[in-house]
Structure 1
Amino acid sequence: MSNITTKISLFILIVALITACNVVKKVPDDKHLLLKNEILVNGEKNSKEDIVLQLVQQPNTSIFGYKLRLNMFNLSKNNTDSLFRAKYIANPAKYKRQSKWLSKKQVDRLGQSFWYSGWHSFLRRTGEPPVIIDTLKAKRSLKRLKAYYFNQGFFDADAKFTANYQENKRGDINYTVTTGEPTFLDTISREIETPALDSLYLLSKSKSYIKEGQQYKAENFSNERSRITNYFRNHGVYYFQQQSVYFEVDTLNPNHKAPVKINITDKVTKIGDSTQSKPYKIYRISQVNIFTNDIDTKNKLQIADSATYKNFNLYSTNKLRYRPKAIADAVFIQKDSLYNDEKRTLTLRSLSNLQVFNYPNIVYVEDTITQTLKANIYLTSKTKFHFDANADFTRSNIQIFGITGGSAVSIRNLFRGAETLQIGFHGNIGSSNDPTIAENRFFNISEVGADMRLTFPRIFLPFGTDKIISKSMLPSSIISIGFAKQTNIGLDKENLTAAINYNWTPKKNTTAKFDLVNVQYVKNINIANYFNVYGSTYNRLNSLAKIYNNNDIDLTKEDGGADNFINSVLANQYPLLTPLTDDYKSIKSIKERKDRLTENNLIFAANFGYAKDSKSDFFDKEFYSFRAKLESAGNLLSLTSNLLKEPKNSDGTRNVFGLQYSQYLKGEFDYVKNWDLTNGKIFAVRSFFGLAVPYGNSKSVPFARSYFAGGSNDNRAWQSYSLGPGSSGGLNDFNEANMKIALNAEFRSKLFGNLNGALFADCGNIWNVLDNETDETKVFSGISSLKSLALGTGFGFRYDFKFFLLRLDFGFKTYNPAKPETQRWFKELNLSKTVLNIGINYPF
């Protein structure tokens, strides 16, 4: 009862604070606060973003109708230092009392303290002053509205406004726009002074943005000017300038049909105080010269070495360190080809992608006699060797204190083909008070590792792939191998990885990745520590042992006590525990899970990934992204074991070189869409589906390739690994399965300054499907299993540091499928059961 009373009191207090705020507190008596703008276009209300943005004055920002920033500004006080002094002048006795335990100087400086001055300065800086109705700004808005509709072809558009003043110093403005009839493009003619450009224009006329019969739009003319400029500069017109293109449009035609004339003037150059016009010329490339030098000889002019390869001339100020083919393959400017802006840009990207040069530079030199261009490419080599080292102090839920460090050496141009070899070492020592760690030393956990990575700026295969993956896709190949070993962390794993993968960009904003080989071998060293690590599993088993052993003695964890109890039960040594009882099934499930998590995994896989997004730049707020991946494992090893006629194990599986290998097929789909709702408001959604099906030599998917639910980038009302599978209730320490569905939605809004807020809803879960799991609460059996989708809702804050975003989310379990059906909805919506998530950048 007291809890309910507290909540009601808190609610009443919040409502009182909100309603008590006077939004017109700092509005002068003869002025009015702008509450709302309303735009009527041809008698109909219009609130489209591009129309609303034409208005110079916008009302104060609000969050769900509450003007937070305005109320913050209203809470601030001006002249706080003067008010402070007046306070003590009016009460000298108080000043004297303060001076007894603070010096007079300190008392005098209280006026500049955060409490008296800084707090109000923060409120004024973070808040938002009231927007006062200004008729001059309203008139400017009318001009912008008419200009907007003029640019849409409504040349007779008219606009008016009415300011509606209320007695309580509030008001709004109504804008009325009458567009009139739109104007359509009539005949389109051209006048191109350079004959060669006229012929070139006709070849691309069909791609024009302006066509007869379409409604006049200024944007189309701007796009057409850019299109013509880009087309000419990509077809040999090296000196072409955009200002040479202009349009004549008759906007005064009474029948609302406007003839258009496209004008393209000759090249205009300034000589002294006068200008001169000359016809544009179409240039071809007569030579492609590539100059390479080292940093220590970059100012050296004398050529010490040279080579020629397929019409490319290579020069070096010392001995040429690169094979000519390696450099030439990264250059897309060809001898005897037309000058092309796109080829120049692609060449710069490709040369930078080699990662062996600093800031490539391309200079074109005109040959006035032959009227051609020489392309001179200047490359300054990076140093052959590069060394990196780093160290850091860490803290996590595993270790109370840790020291991590690493070093790496890079060797560039290893085989004279712009290859890069990286060899790295990393390590960590830490202190943990985890009771599962027996070591009594301060630094009682550690991890060491080494890796090697060789990068080729091309597809590294014994046969050519240019017809499938062209050089313009900037392909690269990576061969990598790594080893890591951890001790006193979990089961003390050793991890060996190796991979051969290929990357390329088929189109802009599109990437493809193909792992020809992806090998991972995981070996568990300290299996005896299993029940120390998986405490929840041990507690379940121990409680059952106490029941059926008729005593209160705990099972020993490390010397076989827990394992002996499991083996005795499965050997039918407990008459009350028959295979049909739930407790027997539970113990059998614990045994199966232990075998799964302690087995050594050999994964020999191949996969293909494809990703695409529509984001034009870093500041783009409205975009989509799509990612898909398909992975297959174990097929080559299955073929090998068959050819070697390896004998089958007792469970029907086979080994290769003494190791049982995993065999599965896995597919993933991930789609994200962001909508810009203007004024700093964003609505984002995400959908994810993943499925990994074991077959052949496997009855389950390796832990490293399984799915989990919960966490700061998933369902934020549950912690990582704590949700699912299905409606089982997350009984294990690390809950995982081989199928996952995740659906997320988030509304983001600017609060003030760099602080943003968010409301979110996360729906999803994991299930077992087509594997050896028999627990019906964990298995996905059809559409009916979707009722075990979990729903989490909540709110969060994001602070934008420009180079990264810090995120805090508070998640509430809104629908918990692990609860009885009558208690699943809204039973855990209280602060005591909130899950706090801290993350970097947006969750999806």
Structure 2
Amino acid sequence: MKIKPIYYIPFLLLLVYSCSNTKYLPEGEMLYTGAEVKIEDSLMSKSDKKALKSEMQELLRPKPNRTILGWRFKLSMYNFAGEPKKEKGFQYWLRNKVGEPPVTFSQVDMDYNADVLQNRAENRGYFKSRTSADSTSSNRKAKAIYTVKPGKQYTIRNVIWPDSLGTRLDSAVTRTKRRTRLKQGSPYDLDKIKDERNRIDERLKEKGYFFFNPDYLIIRVDSTVGDHQVDLRIRLKDDVPERAKKVYTINNIFIYPNYSLSAASDTLSTPTENDSVTRYKDYTIIDKEHNFRPIIYDRTLYFHKGDIYNRKDHNLSLNRLVNLGTFRFVKNQFKISDSLDTALDTYYFLTPLPKKSIQMELSAKTNSANYNGSELTVNWSNRNTFKAAELLSISAFGGLEVQMAGQNKGYNVYRIGSDVSLTWPRFITPIKVETPSAYVPRTKVAIGYEYQNRQKLYSLNSFKTSFGYLWKEDITKEHELKVFDAIFVSPSHVTEEYRNRIKDDQSGSLQRAIDKQLIFGPTYSYTYTNTMRQFKKNTIYYKGSLDLAGNITGLVTGANIKKGDTISVFGVPFSQYAKTEHDFRFYHKFSKNSQLATRATIGFGYPYGNSSELPYIRQFFVGGTNSIRAFRARSIGPGTYRDTTVTANSFLPDQSGDIKMEINAEYRMKLYSVVHGAIFVDAGNIWLWNKKDGMEGAEISKDFYKEFAVGTGIGLRLDLSFLILRLDGAFPLRKPWLPDGDRWVLDDIDVGSKYWRKENFVLNLAIGYPF
């Protein structure tokens, strides 16, 4: 890489300045640079030592000033700003918002930290451990060192449960032992003992013990029973309240669907006939306005009169009520029945959202093809269309994209359209389908139209409609099945200029963009993610989809394009293909403020029967702001193909393929406040299944991995929580269309060259993370 020496100057200045942080310290103070925990125990395995050390390291306080590649950036900014004269302005902002004050060694209580580590070691079963604290200092910098000598860890010899022949509650506690987390021979761990108390409480709640509490359990530890072993005795405390020993059933169920928080009352009472009471099955509904049909509660509530109280059904009912999307607040209370002391009257207080709403959204967009524009969307919705939480949504949108620079300047894009959808909070099927999930299943029908005008080129009319189902197994797993998904695309106003350019297009992409397309058939997608679990160090995201278009129709009609037997519907040959795509993402957290994000995407589309290739709108593309960022959107491939007829004034066709492979890696770190940075590498390409005249090297081969495009770059992001603004700058490392052996272009990189930057450097401005 060719980088002029002048570009090193800012980095050298910052490095020199960062070394002077200690000169701003008060007299007699030293800069605290952190702490080290040493585990001295020859009996522990390396993995156990590493885990214990990492756990203890997190407990130490205070934390030293944060570093970025060894540089205390925030501390440097604090010192650089100096003491502000007033509590506002740039100097105050730089010192107190961007910067942070020095963490000095005098702030460290080493004895307290040593006690914390000693306590944690004992909680992990190292009962005879010893902890000491020391420090080292040099050049007005100090570091704390804590040495822990754990000794041999105690293990569990026996777990003794209450007598199953004792009280009813004793017996219920003992019956929970099958899934105990306290295993014979496993290490003693105080956290696991606490978890076990909570687990027993959860199990008892599922058996009707509504008033039980984990504090009513005690687990005694006997460490005198053997060589580094303990016995754990689980028993009930002597002062357990009588009501905590009883199993409760559900009695009356009262529902207030128009509950007002402003008029809230804590008094739970039986409604009278003056309250406009409606009785439906096991439910007593107090709804003066009759805004909701009673069937809505039968589909969401799991409790019925006479059922034994169950915490799982309790939570499922609340979650499903919230998930309906009709109520702003959902509140649930229980009261011991006046008629039976082992029965609970159940009260549901539901505060509805406004039935109708209108929302307006204005968005800005840009891409690597130099298109900039905006789009306005207006959406009107009715959350309770037929009084059973049905959602009717009607939206209209219009947008404009203007090509401000680069090739084909002035070929603007105009879009206008509308979508209508109706969603029912249940499965609408010929047979009844039960879903024991916290999430309400949905049936959705949608219809839409879009008119797109590419100025000076052509216009497209797109019609789409679908009918299908959406459901979630739990918070991590989601399904979407469209039993019928159809789209019809028809061109209009194709200009002579565009037709002339089609004649020069070797790939055929320009022609495919204006071909009439009719696609119909089922689609299915499955999504799994645990990225919402912020406490996990490693999280994943996976989405797989399957698209089967025209398969049954093609089978029935015997369509075969290879034999010339093409079948048309409404004068348009229908598309027949099978397509699948898989997107896998892995996130590894190094710390609270840094992580590695990776993505691997693979897709295959196979046309057959009535089609010789995938319809244009179902083909694969790579390149752009959320793909391989060092290349213009949709400009890579297929394979090693490159349209040699393209010049500086040519119209650039979008390159598409039947097969897609892409991998991405991005290291993300927090720089300061809401400003985040990233370093990334992207690679991938697309291919055709079959060889095509005029497109040499476009088909897939056994050497496909040698045809990957590779790019790298750096990015800045403003993470405002509700909005993430992203700016990525990237350049290519490997160009697949070059001759084999010359595809790596590392030697050509010349950051100081204006010509190189114009030809290779790509800026991507976007909203949200790329993956």
TM-score, with structure 2 as normaliser: 0.86
Q: Residues of 1 paired with 2:385 and 2:505: CA distance? A: 57
Distance in 2 (CA, whole Å) between partners of 1:205 and 1:46 is 32
Q: Provide the residue aligned with 2:687 in structure 1.
A: 767
Quick check: 1:239 aligned with 2:211? yes
Instruction: Look up the equivalent residue of 1:589 and give its one-letter code.
Output: Q
Q: Quick one: distance in 2 between partners of 1:740 and 1:432?
A: 28
Residues 600-637 of structure 1, C-alpha deviation per residue, up to 9 Å, x if partnerless?
11010211111111235467664111111111111133
Q: Which residue of 1 aligns with 2:479?
A: 512
Structure 1 residues 15, 164: CA separation in 2 closer, same or farther (over 3 Å shift)? same
Amino acid at match of 1:661: F
Please give the root-mean-square deviation of Cα atoms over the aligned residues, in Å.
3.5
Paired AA for residue 514 in structure 1 = L
* Structure 1 position 144, deviation (Å): 1.6
Match of 2:676 among 748, 756, 773: 756
Aligned length: 735
Q: Kindly tell me: are residues 339 and 562 of structure 1, through their superposed partners in 2, closer, same or farther at Cα, counting changes over 3 Å?
A: closer
Query: Is structure 2 residue 748 aligned with structure 1 residue 835?
Result: no
Q: 1:725 aligns with which of 618, 633, 638?
A: 638
Q: CA deviation at 1:522?
A: 0.9
Amino acid at match of 1:758: A
Partner secondary structure for residue 223 of structure 1: helix
**Shift of the alpha carbon at 1:337?**
1.6
* AA in 2 matched with 1:528: T
> 1:671 aligned to 2:587?
no
User: Matched residue of 1:329: which SS?
Assistant: helix
More moved, 370-379 vs 313-322: 313-322
Following TM superposition, by how much is the alpha carbon of 1:186 offset from its aligned partner in structure 2, in angstroms? 2.8
Deviation larger for 405-414 or 691-700: 405-414
The correspondence of residues 516-535 of structure 1 with structure 2, limited to 5 A, is: 516-528=483-495
The offset of 1:266, in angstroms, is: 6.3
2:342 aligned with 1:366: no
- What is the alpha-carbon distance in structure 2 between the residues aligned to residue 36 and residue 379 of structure 1? 52
The answer for the alignment partner of 2:253 in structure 1 is: 288
Q: Does structure 2 retain, via aligned residues, the 8 Å contact 1:145–1:159? A: yes
Matching of residue 33 in structure 1 with residue 31 in structure 2: yes
Contact 1:33 1:131 in 2 (8 A): yes
Asked if structure 2 preserves the Cα contact closer than 8 Å seen for 1:155 and 1:251, the reply is: no
1:404 maps to which of 376, 394, 397 = 376
Contact 1:57 1:138 in 2 (8 A): no
Indicate whether 1:352 and 2:322 are aligned.
Answer: yes
Letter in 1 for 2:524: F
Q: Is the 8 A contact 1:700 1:772 kept in 2?
A: no
How far did residue 433 of structure 1 move? 8.1
**Which residue identity lines up with residue 237 of structure 2 in the other structure?**
T
Question: Equivalences for 1:336-347 in 2 at 5 Å?
Answer: 336-347=306-317
Report how far residue 298 of structure 1 moved.
8.8
Q: Which has the higher contact order (CA 8 A, sep 6+)?
A: 2
Q: 1:429 to 1:693 in 2, by over 3 A?
A: closer
Structure 2 residue 77 is matched with structure 1 residue 72:
yes
Specify the SS of the correspondent of 1:598: coil
Which residue type is aligned with residue 521 of structure 1? F
Q: What whole-Å deviation, never above 9, does each CA across 1:195-250 have from its counterpart, x for those lacking one?
A: 22212122221111113322101111121011011111121011112221232213
- Cα distance in 1 for partners of 2:34, 2:693 equals 60
SS in 1 for 2:36: strand
Q: Aligned to 1:24, what secondary structure does the other structure show?
A: helix
Check whether the contact 1:763–1:790 (CA below 8 A) recurs between aligned residues.
Answer: yes
Change (3 A) 1:602 1:828: farther
Q: Are residues 1:7 and 2:4 paired?
A: yes
SS at match of 2:121: helix
Q: Would the aligned equivalents of 1:151 and 1:218 in 2 still touch at CA under 8 Å?
A: yes
Cα shift readout 1:575-596 (whole Å, capped 9, x = no counterpart): xxxxxxxxxxxx5735x33432
Paired residue secondary structure (2:23): coil
Q: Distance in 2 between matches of 1:722 and 1:746?
A: 22
**Aligned counterpart, 1:805:** 724
CA distance in 2, matches of 1:755, 1:405: 29
1:449 is displaced (CA, Å) by 2.2
Q: Which residue does the alignment assign to 1:19? A: 16
Relative to structure 1, the CA distance from residue 495 to residue 228 in structure 2 (aligned partners, 3 Å threshold; closer, same or farther) is same
Residue 770 of structure 2 aligns to a residue in which SS? coil
Aligned-pair CA distance for 1:503: 0.9
Structure-2 separation of matches of 1:17 and 1:403 = 42
The aligned counterpart of 1:581 is none
* DSSP-derived class of the 2:170 partner: helix
Q: Higher helix share goes to which structure?
A: 1
The one-letter code of the counterpart of 1:189 is I
**Secondary structure, aligned partner of 2:185:** coil
Higher mean alpha-carbon deviation, 334-343 vs 723-732, is at 723-732
Give me the whole-angstrom Cα distance separating, in 1, the residues matched to 2:373 and 2:147: 66
Question: Do residues 138 (structure 1) and 110 (structure 2) align?
Answer: yes
2:148 to 150, 157, 177: 177
Any conservation in 1 of the 2:319–2:439 contact (CA below 8 Å)?
no
**Hey, what's the Cα distance between the residues in 2 that align with 1:396 and 1:660?**
35
The change in CA–CA distance for 1:184 and 1:368 in structure 2 (over 3 A counts) is: farther
Is 1:623 matched up with 2:539?
A: yes
Alignment of 1:196-345 (within 5 A): 196-251=168-223, 255-265=227-237, 280-293=245-258, 302-304=274-276, 306-309=278-281, 312-318=282-288, 320=290, 322-345=292-315
Q: Residues 119-164 of structure 1, C-alpha deviation per residue, up to 9 Å, x if partnerless?
A: 3651354223333334852222211211121111001111112212
Q: Which blocks of at least 5 consecutive residues in structure 1 are unaligned?
A: 82-110, 270-276, 530-556, 567-586
Map of 1:706 onto structure 2: 619
TM-score, normalising length: structure 1: 0.79
Q: Is the contact between residue 416 and residue 450 of structure 2 (CA under 8 Å) also seen in structure 1?
A: yes
Distance 2:262 2:148 in 1: 68
> Does the C-alpha gap of structure 1 residues 837 and 282 become closer, same or farther in structure 2, counting only changes over 3 Å?
same
Q: Tell me by how many angstroms 1:747 deviates.
A: 1.6
Partner of 2:734: 815
Structure 2: tracts of 5 or more residues without a match: 265-270, 647-651, 752-756
Contact 2:211 2:243 in 1 (8 A): no
Of residues 448, 455, 479, the one that matches 2:416 is: 448
**Deviations 1:706-764, CA, capped at 9 Å, x for gaps:** 11112222212122212222222476431221211111112222222222222211121
**Match runs of 1:562-641 below 5 Å:** 566=503, 589-590=506-507, 592-617=508-533, 622-639=538-555, 641=557
Residue in structure 2 matched with residue 571 of structure 1 by the alignment: none
% of aligned pairs identical? 24
Q: Higher mean Cα deviation, 367-376 or 150-159?
A: 367-376
Deviation (angstroms), 1:765: 1.4
Structure 1 position 418 matched with structure 2 position 386: no
- Give the conservation status (yes or no) of the 8 Å contact 1:298–1:380: no
Alpha-carbon distance in structure 2 between the residues aligned to 1:297 and 1:799: 38
Q: 2:131 aligns with which of 141, 159, 162?
A: 159
